[in-house]
Amino acid sequence: MNVKIICVGKIKEPYLRKLIERCVKELNRSCRLEIIELKDEKTPDGASEKEEERIREIEGKRILNRIPEGSIVIPLCIDGKQMTSDELRHKWEKWNRQRDAEVVFVIGGSLGLCSAVQRRGTFKLSFSAMTFPHQLMRLILLEQLVYAAGMKEE
C-alpha cells in the first residue's frame, strides 16, 4: 500500500521532527509512506474572511495538484467523522487488501482546508472537535497510523 500525507507547512520544532521521523521509520516497514510538505501562505494580521478564503484556495490548489487520480483521499477536518483507533485500524486493513491502494491524508495549514479539497475527499476524518496546531496534527496522525498498521499496541 502507498500512503501519502500531504500537509501545508514545515515542521520547525526539532523535538516534533524527531518524533515524526520515528513514526515514519516504523510505518515504512509496512507500507510505502511519503510526506509531502507544501508551502504555507502568510496570513496578514487582521485578515478578513475573504482574504483567509483566498489563502485557503491558494493552498488548496497546491494540495489538489499533488493528489494522484484514483486515490483514497482523507482530508482531516474538524467536522469530519470521528473514529476510534480500532476503527481506523479496520479501515487500514481494508485499504491494505486493495490491490495498489493509494491512500492520501491531507492536513491543511493554520486556516484549514478549502471546500474543494474537502469535496475531493473519500471521507473527512476528525480527531476531535478541538482545533490542534497543524504541526502537531501530523504527529498525532502518524501515531494513529503506526497503531493502525499493527506496529504498536495501545
Question: 2-148: which CATH topology?
Answer: Alpha/beta knot (3.40.1280)
Domain residue extents for the chain? 2-148
Q: State mean pLDDT over 78-91.
A: 95
Q: State mean pLDDT over 79-86.
A: 95
Q: Quick check: 60 and 117 in contact, CB under 8 A? A: yes
123 is in an annotated binding site: no
Quick one: pLDDT at residue 154?
47
43 is in an annotated binding site: no
130 is in an annotated binding site: yes
Confidence band (pLDDT; 50, 70, 90) for 152?
low
132 is in an annotated binding site: yes
Residue range 46-80, pLDDT digits in tens:
999 999 999 999 999 999 999 999 999 999 999 99
Q: Give all strands of the β-sheet with 125-126 in edge-to-edge order.
A: 32-38, 2-8, 102-107, 72-82, 125-126
Q: How far, in Å, are 6, 95, 118, 153 from residue 16 at the CA level?
A: 17, 28, 26, 21
DSSP-derived secondary structure letter, 89: H
1 is in an annotated binding site: no
Residue range 104-148, pLDDT digits in tens:
999 999 899 999 999 999 999 999 988 888 889 999 999 999 999
pLDDT at 31 over 50: yes
129 is in an annotated binding site: yes
Q: List % helix, strand, coil for the chain (3-state, nearest 5).
A: 40, 25, 35
